[in-house]
Every structure is written in C-alpha cells, then in structure tokens.
Amino acid sequence: MMKYILTGAGIASMACFVACNQGQKSTDTQQATPDAVAANVDSTVNPAQDFFDYANGGWIKRNPIPAEYSSWGIGNLVQEELYKRLRTINEKAVENPTDATSKKIAAFWKSGMDSVKINADGIKPIEEELKAIDAAANISQLVQLTAKSHNVSLCSFYIGQDAKNSELMLVQFGQGGIGLPNRDYYFNTDDRTAKIRNAYPAHVAKMLQFTGMDSTTAKKAAAEVVALETILAKSSRKLEALRDPEANYHKMAVTQLNKIAGNVDWVDFIKQQGITKFADTVIVGQPEFFTTLSNTLKSQSLATWKNYAKWHLINSAASTLSDTIANTDFAFYGTLMRGQDKQKPRWKRVLDAEEGAIGEALGQLFAKEFFNAAAKKRYENLVEEIRGELKTRIEHLDWMSDSTKQKALYKLSKITKKVGYPDKWKDFSAMDIKDQSYYENVRAAERWWLNYQIAKLGKPVDRTEWDMTPQTYNAYYNPSNNEIVLPAGIFTVPGKRDEELDDAVVYGYAGASTIGHEITHGFDDEGRQFDAAGNLKSWWTKEDEKKFNDRAAVMVKQFDGYVVVDSLHINGKATLGENIADLGGILLGWEAFKKTEQYKKNEKIAGYTPAQRYFMGYALGWLSHTKKEALAKQLLTDVHSPAKYRVNGPFSDVDAFYEVYGLKPGDGMYRADSTRVRIW
C-alpha cells in the first residue's frame, strides 16, 4: 500500500530540507525562487473544469517528457538532484574508499560503469547457468536449478509476516512465472495490448538467439515458451482479485502443497533456496496457480521448459549484460511498453541498481546531512495532528455503530509512525560486492537480500525495520505492523527549503497527499480488514461492513467512469484502496489546515488565498505527465490511478473544494451531491 508504485529501483530522492540549499538563503524575498504552487498554474484553464490541468498545466507545458523517460514530474526533479549527489559519493568512494561500505559502493559502481568489459563479456556472465540448464536430465533437476539459482522464478517466493498472526514470519508462495507484466497482457483484446502481445514472441526469440540459438530454432522455442506462459497466465488472478487478503491466504503444511502441486518436491524446493529450518508451514496465495504450474511441468516437454528457463534467465540479467542485449531488452520493455525513446545514461542506470542493492547505506549518509531534527519534529507533529482529525471524523461518522467506532479508534491510536529515517540501520558487511563482473555484483546483492529474509524465520518480528530507503520519494502503510512509514525524501519540494513552504502547501502536499493518505490506508477496503495488532481479523459488525461496502461501491463506479487513453478506463475495483486513501487524506489535511494561523488570517500569497493554496499544494504532489504507452501499462498493472485522476477524482467528492472554487452544476469537476463518495 504505497503512495506510488515503484517503476524500477530508482524512484528515490533526497531530502532537500536545509543543507542542500545552504548558501542560497536570501534575505530579499523579491529574489526568492518562484512560488511553489503559483508557478505551475495554467491560468487559461478553469479550476472548476479541470483542476489538475489548472494547477499543474503551466509547468507541464514548459517541461516536456525527456526522451529517456516515460513520465516526468516532481518525483523526477527530486531524483535528478539525488543522481548528481550520489554520483559524487560513488566517484569519491572509488578515489578514496574509507571503510568497508564505501569499498562496496566503489566496487559496485566500477563494475557497472565498465562498459568496455561488459561489452567484451557479452553473454559470458550467465554462460555457466545456461550450461547448467542444458545439462538438466529431467524436470526435477530443472526445478531444483531454478530454486537454487534465484534467477529464474517459476512463482513468487518470499519470507513475510503471517497475515493472521503478525508475530510470525513464514515462507510465502504466490503466482508468477510470466514474462509480460501481468495476466491481462496475454488475453486483453484492445489494440495497444494486442500489439505488445503480438510483438512478444519475436522479442523472446531475439533474446534466445543471444544464448546461442540460431534464428529458426529460437523462433520455434519462443512460440512454445509464450504458449507455456499463456497457460500460467490463464491460471493467474487479476489485479483486483489480488487485493482480497482473505481470498489470497491459504496457510498449509508444506506437505499439503505437495498434494496440490505434486510434480514439484516443495520440501526440496525450499531447501534449495537455502532454508533448512522453520519452513514446515507455508502460506500459498493462489493454490490454483500451483496446481496448473505442476500440471504444466508434466504436460510440456523438458526442452520447452529449458527454453523457458533460458529466456527468464537472460530476461532477468539483461540490464547487466552487454549494450546489444540491454538495448534489445529496452526496445521491448522500455520503448514499446512504456514509450521511452531512449535509455537513461549508464551512470543513472547503475545508480538505480545500486539503490536496490545497497540503498540504505547511501541513505544513512543522506539522512545525516539532509533531514535535520527540526524537520523530523515538524512532520512527526503533523502526523499527530492528522491522527487527531481522523479521530474526530470517526467519532462523528453518521453511518457507523458505536461498537465498530470504538475498535476503529483503538486501531487508529495504535498506528506506529516512522518518519524520515530508521533508528537502526541494516548491516551490509556480508554482502559480497567486490572486484567482479557487474552481473555478479547485482546477483551478490540479491543473494544477500534473500539470506536477509531467510534469517528472519523462527525469530521475533523486527518492527523497527524499514522497507524503503530514507531518500525514497514514496511512503507506505504496512497492515501487518499497523504502521505508516514516511521516508525523508517524500517531504521534499524541489528547489525549496522546508522553512520556505507555507502551511497551506505543507498541509496539502505532505499532510494530505502523504500522511493523511497513508493513515487512511489503515481503513481502506483492504486495510480495514486488519486489526490494531496487524492481524487479518474482522472487527466490524455485519451492518457496518455492508454500509462501508455500499459507500465504497460509489467510488468504484466513479473511477470506472474515467476513460484515460483510447478506450481504456481506470479499474475502479483495483484502485479502490488508493482512491479511498487519497480522499481521506484530502479531508484530514483540510481539517488540520483549518486550525492553522495561516488559514485563520486568510492573507493571500502570490495572489492565492490560503484555502486555494491548500488544494494547489495537494495537486503539487501529483505534478507530472506520462506517455500514453506508460499510462496504458499503468491502467493494467498499477493499483494507483493516474496522477490527474488522483487530483480530479477525490476533489470532486470534497465539499470544501466546491465552496473554495464555487463549483456549479455543469462544471467539469461537479458531481451531484448524491453521487459524491462519503466514507471516512
């Protein structure tokens, strides 16, 4: 339940609060940088007609999407700053590695930047693994290989909290094993999706040729691999179905999994991952997928499965291999699927990979420098203000019974807040990054992360842990810990020091779109099914549950109605949790803002009233635009609505917005009172 979906490892950012603008502090306000929100407005658009285009349209017109990106916006501006600073840190580490961590940073950077070696190596880094695939004598051996190498995944496999007992870490299995982003790509009939599907076999064939196949063999192999994946896709659940926590929870003895999917020895599969203890009980998300996977292991030939394994191996390794291979990969997944005209420069791609590998070590340096105690305190206080507003709103809900209210209030009081950066840092000393190929360094990091997960089995849950780095431009709610996690990076407004931002902007940008959003996740259609201790356990009366669902259904209908690109519309069910969180965040931020001095004084800044600036501040959080290709992909694979609808959608449900901007029937943003969503 993130604020955004992460499209690659690199949606990180730096907390640019005080230090990064040091030296630029001007005492003459006339020379200050443009106003944080006024500068983005397109005054030719009527805010009542299309608020997103009004608030952000000026900036969007002036800032086209660069060729190497599929979207461009505020997160990218923050990221660009971060890239420059990270590059310096890496280069300094190469020049003068001072400790074990900086040696690892230096080795990772050097191996990734050494394009001469990477291009000369070609396929070499994965040659041993390709040979091992060829040498498998039967299906069992091949399955064993996939479990051991971690580079080919037949399914998803991870260690996580038991949804019904948050004190327990367990092995978890889920659907997976396909090369297109999700099952819909194999079946949807719209032109865009069909075009991608039709190009897919040729792409698989090209990649298989790099493994040493001639073109005729590769073409035939690719057709068989895609047919195999289509069988797996058919047994995979849709995006919205994966959001039902009860329906995706099947706790069983591992021997039971052997009964459901008997062509794999799952005890051995787990052992091959490196797990020797505490794995007698597992959680299987989608049992029917595993039955199909098992049947397919028998119905398809060993030769087809070997080709499948080779394709998935080179597909997962492509970004670390030669330019020829990486560019072929990019032409399909970058250009065709996401509309990127060219690749990011190598140094940025290496930094993206480094963020995924060892990002928290870099974050430690950043937190020290760029998120001071005052900033941490400001946003911790804001969390408490927002929590207080939700308390008041729950107490006054007219549709919920007192007994459910008491439990909701208890859950709210128990939400843990994590702000800025972790109190305890991960120890990367065992990560085997050294002078070796880039591929090997990336794999060493992946192995470290798997071992890190495995080490959690049989131990008490560490609730101090962070799943995002401090420099990340994102945030999340974790229902199993009943916690909101707010990295320093998400509070950054590019080019502004924190103290330059007026409360209106801060309450909209941070209070509503981040803090209020994440807190509301604890009470969205999915989060509300977890109790105060983080267990999947209903605390609702039947009547209250029905009333909640009726209200949520109004929101599903509202968002289903937004057509975004061609004939493709938002998936109201799949995006419901995020849309509820957005609406809740705006209402909570607004109530909190009304108590500030700025709101009460009602003085204009840069020509806008405090109330107007609040809504503009929220829209600033979604300042971005996206290529059509990437929008289409987002509609199929992302539980978040596109940026424009994260502003215009919930604003259309907020009475205060109608008052501030004087909306009338017939305006683009207007919805009749009876069709406005009212939940929290």
Shortest distance, position 517 Cβ to Zn ion, whole Å: 6
Residues contacting residue 224 through CB under 8 Å, at least 6 positions apart:
300, 304, 307
Quote the CA–CA distance of 625 and 645 in Å, as a whole number. 12
Shortest distance, position 40 Cβ to Zn ion, whole Å: 23
Shortest distance, position 170 Cβ to Zn ion, whole Å: 25
Shortest distance, position 284 Cβ to Zn ion, whole Å: 26
CB closer to Zn ion, 35 vs 638: 638
DSSP codes of every residue in 122-175: TTGGGHHHHHHHHH--SHHHHHHHHHHHSSS-SSEEEEEEETTEEEEEEEEEE-
Shortest distance, position 578 Cβ to Zn ion, whole Å: 5
Shortest distance, position 418 Cβ to Zn ion, whole Å: 15
Shortest distance, position 475 Cβ to Zn ion, whole Å: 8
Dihedral of CA atoms 65, 67, 69, 70 in degrees, nearest 10, equals 70
Shortest distance, position 476 Cβ to Zn ion, whole Å: 7
Quote the CA–CA distance of 72 and 338 in Å, as a whole number. 13
Shortest distance, position 261 Cβ to Zn ion, whole Å: 33
CB closer to Zn ion, 235 vs 480: 480
CB closer to Zn ion, 50 vs 524: 524
Phi, then psi, of 418 in degrees rounded to 5: -125, 120
CB closer to Zn ion, 581 vs 669: 581
CB closer to Zn ion, 579 vs 612: 579
- C-alpha pair distances (Å), 534 with each of 404, 530, 595: 17, 6, 32
Shortest distance, position 1 Cβ to Zn ion, whole Å: 5
* Residues 570 to 629 in contact with Zn ion, rule: CB under 5 A: 578, 581
Own/partner contacts of 346-351, CB < 8 Å, gap of 24 or more, are 346/112, 346/113, 346/115, 347/83, 347/87, 347/113, 348/10, 348/83, 349/112, 349/319, 350/108, 350/109, 350/112, 350/113, 350/438, 351/10, 351/83, 351/86, 351/87, 351/90
Residues contacting residue 121 through CB under 8 Å, at least 6 positions apart:
321, 322, 437
CB closer to Zn ion, 333 vs 477: 477
Residues that bind Zn ion (rule: CB under 5 A) add up to a total of: 3
CB closer to Zn ion, 3 vs 573: 3
CB closer to Zn ion, 1 vs 169: 1
Which residue is associated with the tokens 């107007």? 612
Stretch that binds Zn ion, among 3-11, 255-263, 291-299, 622-630 (CB under 5 A): 3-11
108: nearest Cα among 350, 321, 323 = 350
Quote the CA–CA distance of 116 and 238 in Å, as a whole number. 43
CB closer to Zn ion, 3 vs 237: 3
CB closer to Zn ion, 3 vs 417: 3
Can you say whether residue 307 is alpha, beta or left, with left for phi > 0 and alpha for psi between -120 and 50 degrees? alpha
Under 8 Å between Cβ of 514 and 491: yes
Stretch that binds Zn ion, among 2-10, 72-80, 96-104, 235-243 (CB under 5 A): 2-10
Strands 156-162 and 165-174: antiparallel
Question: In a 3-state reduction of DSSP, which class is residue 564?
Answer: strand
Quote the CA–CA distance of 569 and 517 in Å, as a whole number. 23
Quote the CA–CA distance of 88 and 40 in Å, as a whole number. 31
Shortest distance, position 573 Cβ to Zn ion, whole Å: 16
CB closer to Zn ion, 477 vs 614: 477
Shortest distance, position 595 Cβ to Zn ion, whole Å: 25
Shortest distance, position 524 Cβ to Zn ion, whole Å: 8
CB closer to Zn ion, 307 vs 481: 481
Give the pair of three-digit tokens for residue 575: 């995006």
Stretch that binds Zn ion, among 1-9, 58-66, 254-262, 448-456 (CB under 5 A): 1-9
367: nearest Cα among 322, 408, 410, 420 = 420
Question: x-or-dash pattern for Zn ion, window 522-561, by CB under 5 A?
Answer: ----------------------------------------
144: nearest Cα among 305, 229, 264, 260 = 264
For residue 73, the cross-strand partners are 624
CB closer to Zn ion, 145 vs 581: 581
Lateral strand order in the sheet of 483-487: 416-420, 483-487, 476-478
- Counting Cα atoms < 13 Å in the Cβ hemisphere of 582 gives 31
Binding stretches for Zn ion (CB under 5 A): 3, 578, 581
